[in-house]
Structure 1
Amino acid sequence: MKKIFSWVFMGAVLFTGCAKDLNLKPLNSNIADVQYATPLGYKQVLAKVYGSYSLVSSTGVGNSDVNVPGITDAGTTDFLRAYWNLQELTTDEAKCAWNDANLQSYHNFNWTSSNIFINALYSRCLFSITICNEFIRESTDEKLASRGIGGKDADDIKHYRAEARFVRAFQYWVLMDLFGRPPFVTDQDPIGKFIPKQISRAELFAYIETELKAIDGELVPPRGNEYGRADQAAAWALLARMYLNAEIYTGTAHYADAITYATRVINAGYVLMPHYKNLFMADNNVNNTEMILPITYDATHSQNYGGTTFLICSGHGTNVADNAKAGIPGGGWSGNRATKNLPQAFGDYSGNADKRAMFGLGSLEINDVLNFNAGLGVTKFNNVNSDGTTPYSPNGVLVNVDFPLFRLAEMYLIYIETVKRNGGGSEATALEYFNRLRARAYENDNGKVTSFSLEDVFNERQRELYWEGFRRTDLVRFNRFTSGSYLWPWKAGVAGGAGADAHYNVFPIPSSEIISNTNLVQNANY
């Protein structure tokens, strides 16, 4: 069983309502002055802040706190599932065989502003921001003093407040990366009937940067927080990731800043896990020296058909023995498979050499997108413990695997890439980090290199980070997402792949939002 804040969220205040209104107060009988009357009450709501990632509903797996017209499966509104679909199904790393026009539009590069799954992620992010704003308003020094909370309790709550600001910054980063210019509201805006204004991508970049730097002294030191909660290293890691992509967001490169913040994380005491596969197993919350910040999942207490349950079950098919081996004897949804570009990035994709190559049943070629057996299954995530035992699942489908939002390997790769992009740093150090990843991947010295290029970095990022939600952002940064110079099977709906219009580099703001908020202007060509 995973422990998330000792499960204080079990008594947390339940938020409902429309995620589209960024300033809704929680609509429940447990009014703020009651819920926030004690330090425990604050921690319960902090758990809800983090739970906005992995809990699709306050009332069970069949419902969702995010209401999107056309969606009846609450699991599809889970943050990770919605985010993964946009970041992976649009790329060379994954295709989906489910015959749903909304999902097929990702491969075809013909999605529109009415796509319900794009709306699902957009709404989930705004829902999370709403919860964060409410918590931040209720945890000011003035509010704590009015409730008689002081001393160590007040100090703890200040840490909680900084964490809520981090989660809000992360969700705004997601919106900036995927949608460019979303509506923008903070705790400083009025509550009630308020129409959010739109913020430009560059302005939002500056806001997130300022927020993350402002909370640095209020977050606990690296590796000093409860598992599943953000610390200083999480904020540094988000800054490093954001600076790596700054030229896309603002038109101005920040590679030297990316090196600075990646180095801070690298020097904070994290260590690569000895075995790559253990990063994605059911007990990856135990003695994980590489994890900076996860989204936590538990088959018993945070039941959700999104998240890692979705990643594992959709990557396996109907083979009973194969599913049991993956720790999902009742699962195996088929659907998601790798295009041949992903396994071929390893050369030998058997896993005998590079242990990161973890592929299952299916064919290498995809002659029919709707064929569940076309494309190799991906077995990277498994609901099995590192000792080979299978954890409890109430139905053999729900899993216990945490998802790494940030881990040390990414920070190595950021440093490596920024050195190759002339952002400063040391070539020798970059080579050392590159070979650390290769040595862990091969579990010997056979993968080590004496030099590497920016193209090698591009390929190494895929081998290290595949199916972790990075690929679309990487392809955009390398100018290969819509370009006709880099292809994969069924890109833009063509069997051999084709280029697409550049406006697909960002997603549309949902049409329902454009209608309801007159301050919003749609992204170009949608």
Structure 2
Amino acid sequence: MTLPFIKRTRLAVGAALVAAPAFGLAACTDLSVDPFSSVNPENFYQTDAEVLAALSPVYSQLRATLWEYHNLSQVSSDETIVPTRGSDWSDGGRWLSMHRQDWSPTLTDLNGAWIQSFTGVARANGIISDLGGIDVPNKDALIAEARALRAFYYYTLLDLFGNVPILAPEPGSDPSEFIVDPDNPPVQRSRAEVFDFIVSELEASRGALPIAGAGNGGRFSQGAVDAVLANLYLNAPVFTGTVTAGGLQRGPARWADAERLATQVIDSGTYSLVQGANAWFQMFSADNENNPEHIFVIQHLAEIGFGLSFPQRGLHYNSFTGGAWNGFSTIAETYQEFDGEDPRRQIFAIGQAYNYDACDPVTNPESCTVDTNGDGVADAAIENRNDEPLIFTLDFPGGVENTTEGAGVRIVKFPPDPEYTETADGNHGNDYPYFRLGEMYLIRAEARLEQGNTAGALADVNAIRDRVGAPLLTSIDRKAILDERLFELTYEARRRQDLIRADESIAEFGGSGNLFTRAWSFKDASQPFRVLFPIPQQQIDASDGTLTQNPGY
């Protein structure tokens, strides 16, 4: 059953999502719903619709992760930069600080990411507590679904912050057990302990979840569990390692496990690689629901509060009806990594800018060059605020602290929704695939290469290249896999992970140390401890000494 889009839901008492300020868990319910005192688990969970209504807020919180969590993952890497354009996108310097990796624990985005993920944890805990004490249809499956979602929220916390408290009451426990008591707060766990908790929760939940496929209506499935585990095992040396002021001390590799889980998804018969460049682009479009390659998605609608803002972030104010925000770009050296013969390069907009209402510059660029009146200007070409041709440039004239309106190559992997109107206020209907089959091939390729199976790694990478019509490779090494992950997964919140994991093992970088903290355009080399973000200062201050800051900060 597809998860409903519900703005207002009646929640059971245990789902009231209460917590002390020390861990930033805010109440997450609409204040216009019926008071919690009017319902309880025994009289609420009577129908499938009511159970889904209670589960819906746990899923809806996933959309929040596509702001702070996604932005921190992207803008701190070489894939994305948000330059200041006059008075636009200055925001106290936070975007450039994110890209330059000179952030402090007071960066507002850090606290936002912390609160958003722990809100998801709290919502899941409420459902788990309620369902454990009552008898409802498919009870085990629903508890497993909530536990898997909770594990996913912890995955985002593990990725960004590493050492976080674990709030995980058993099913049927008293709701008071997961209210954060300021006098007896939960213990902050090591990154390795959080990793083990996520793995154990996913493994314990898997058997009760549906096999499902084609995105499973946005709900968790066995394939989603396997995909998250494959990613965890791929990053195990980082995720179970220890970060000191001197940098990352890696934990044990789990290459065999990464290969096993990725293979389990690939061989399940539940998902399939889309074939052809246009089919690849369609995976990210506004009509991408139930795509055969999608494993775990966040569903969206072109309605206020339910949409994806990715198309808004990079395109120009005049790019489509209602206008975009003219912010996010990529740097020249990253754009130039893409081979001109690789169709996936078309996810970038460079040169003359066009109106997406009038043409399709990604899958049908010829439609943008039509000049019906013969004046030498394409009908769909757009102008800047000075009524001059809008040209997206490779470089940033004047520098990224005060650049021009058209500066920077734009990432348009998730194009505007044709159904989008100004009343949608930045919300597009493109579903976002947190995990899809293409990544499983790349995880397996990397795991195989690390275990000495060069032929298997090459076959997996070429399967990804062949399906979009990119030239096939004749040899494979770590640099080639890192590059292929860039070509395939740009703007899917993987680049930061990839650069940290790759480290100095890639000889082509000349032993430059950690690839994430190295220098690139508009960024000097940063301190090695910045492979892990700091615990937000707001949380440190509110914890009364319970939370310890990550090293180096």
Q: Sort the TM-score into its range (normalised by shorter chain).
A: 0.7 to 0.9
Pick the aligned partner of 2:284 from 265, 280, 299.
280
Match of 2:549 in 1: 522
Match of 1:380 in 2: 413
Match of 2:292 in 1: 289
| Cα distance change on mapping 1:109 and 1:232 into 2, 3 Å | same
Which deviates more, 390-399 or 226-235? 390-399
Match of 1:354 in 2: 343
* Structure-1 separation of matches of 2:192 and 2:69: 22
* Structure-2 separation of matches of 1:427 and 1:103: 40
> Are 1:509 and 2:535 counterparts?
yes
SS at match of 2:134: helix
Match of 1:68 in 2: none
* Structure-2 separation of matches of 1:292 and 1:225: 5
* Structure-1 separation of matches of 2:461 and 2:345: 15
Residues 466-525 of structure 1 show CA distances to partners (whole Å, capped at 9, x for unaligned) of 0111111111101269x9938999976x85542110111100111121122232110012
Match of 1:32 in 2: 40
SS at match of 1:243: helix
Match of 1:447 in 2: 471
> Are 1:364 and 2:356 counterparts?
no
Equivalent residue runs for 1:147-226 within 5 Å:
149=136, 153=137, 155=138, 157-188=139-170, 190-194=177-181, 195-223=185-213, 226=216
Q: Is the CA contact 1:243–1:255 (under 8 Å) kept in the aligned structure 2? A: yes
Normalising to structure 1: TM-score of the pair? 0.82
* Structure-1 separation of matches of 2:539 and 2:119: 14
Match of 1:462 in 2: 486
* Structure-1 separation of matches of 2:265 and 2:311: 29
The one-letter code matched in structure 2 to 1:291 is H
Q: Is the CA contact 1:366–1:374 (under 8 Å) kept in the aligned structure 2? A: yes
* Structure-2 separation of matches of 1:407 and 1:129: 23
Q: CA deviation at 1:430?
A: 2.7
Residues 67-110 of structure 1 show CA distances to partners (whole Å, capped at 9, x for unaligned) of xxxxxxxxxxx211111211111111110021122222112221
Q: Is the CA contact 2:457–2:476 (under 8 Å) kept in the aligned structure 1? A: no
Q: Is the CA contact 1:9–1:47 (under 8 Å) kept in the aligned structure 2? A: no
Match of 1:261 in 2: 261
| Cα distance change on mapping 1:193 and 1:403 into 2, 3 Å | closer
Q: Is the CA contact 2:215–2:295 (under 8 Å) kept in the aligned structure 1? A: no
Which deviates more, 223-232 or 7-16? 7-16
Residues 442-476 of structure 1 show CA distances to partners (whole Å, capped at 9, x for unaligned) of 2xxx5112221111000000010001111111111
Q: CA deviation at 1:314?
A: 1.2
Pick the aligned partner of 1:299 from 299, 302, 311.
302
Q: Is the CA contact 1:233–1:265 (under 8 Å) kept in the aligned structure 2? A: yes
* Structure-2 separation of matches of 1:216 and 1:103: 38
| Cα distance change on mapping 1:399 and 1:8 into 2, 3 Å | closer
* Structure-1 separation of matches of 2:218 and 2:82: 30
Q: Is the CA contact 2:215–2:297 (under 8 Å) kept in the aligned structure 1? A: no
Q: CA deviation at 1:118?
A: 1.1
> Are 1:398 and 2:427 counterparts?
yes
SS at match of 1:404: strand
Residues 188-243 of structure 1 show CA distances to partners (whole Å, capped at 9, x for unaligned) of 48143521210101111111111111112111114288410010010000000000
Equivalent residue runs for 1:218-257 within 5 Å:
218-223=208-213, 226-250=216-240, 251-257=251-257
| Cα distance change on mapping 1:22 and 1:222 into 2, 3 Å | same
| Cα distance change on mapping 1:395 and 1:25 into 2, 3 Å | closer
| Cα distance change on mapping 1:36 and 1:417 into 2, 3 Å | same
| Cα distance change on mapping 1:35 and 1:262 into 2, 3 Å | same
Match of 1:125 in 2: 117
Q: Is the CA contact 2:68–2:109 (under 8 Å) kept in the aligned structure 1? A: yes
The sequence identity of aligned pairs, in percent, is 30
Equivalent residue runs for 1:54-65 within 5 Å:
54=63
The one-letter code matched in structure 2 to 1:346 is F
Pick the aligned partner of 2:61 from 41, 48, 52.
52
| Cα distance change on mapping 1:417 and 1:191 into 2, 3 Å | closer
Pairwise CA RMSD: 2.9
SS at match of 2:131: coil
| Cα distance change on mapping 1:247 and 1:487 into 2, 3 Å | closer
* Structure-2 separation of matches of 1:395 and 1:219: 34
Q: Is the CA contact 1:107–1:490 (under 8 Å) kept in the aligned structure 2? A: no
Pick the aligned partner of 1:94 from 52, 73, 80.
80
Q: CA deviation at 1:12?
A: 4.5
* Structure-2 separation of matches of 1:271 and 1:128: 30
* Structure-1 separation of matches of 2:313 and 2:25: 32
Bigger Rg, which one: 2
Q: Is the CA contact 2:211–2:223 (under 8 Å) kept in the aligned structure 1? A: yes
Match of 1:271 in 2: 272
Match of 1:62 in 2: none
Q: CA deviation at 1:393?
A: 6.5
Q: CA deviation at 1:398?
A: 2.2
Equivalent residue runs for 1:390-429 within 5 Å:
390=419, 394-395=423-424, 397-422=426-451, 426-429=453-456
> Are 1:41 and 2:63 counterparts?
no
Q: Is the CA contact 2:62–2:298 (under 8 Å) kept in the aligned structure 1? A: yes
Match of 2:384 in 1: none
Q: CA deviation at 1:15?
A: 5.5
| Cα distance change on mapping 1:496 and 1:38 into 2, 3 Å | closer
* Structure-1 separation of matches of 2:331 and 2:219: 35
| Cα distance change on mapping 1:225 and 1:292 into 2, 3 Å | closer
| Cα distance change on mapping 1:12 and 1:458 into 2, 3 Å | farther
| Cα distance change on mapping 1:229 and 1:221 into 2, 3 Å | same
Q: CA deviation at 1:379?
A: 1.4
Normalising to structure 2: TM-score of the pair? 0.78
* Structure-2 separation of matches of 1:409 and 1:373: 32
SS at match of 2:434: strand
Equivalent residue runs for 1:471-510 within 5 Å:
471-479=495-503, 485=512, 497-510=523-536
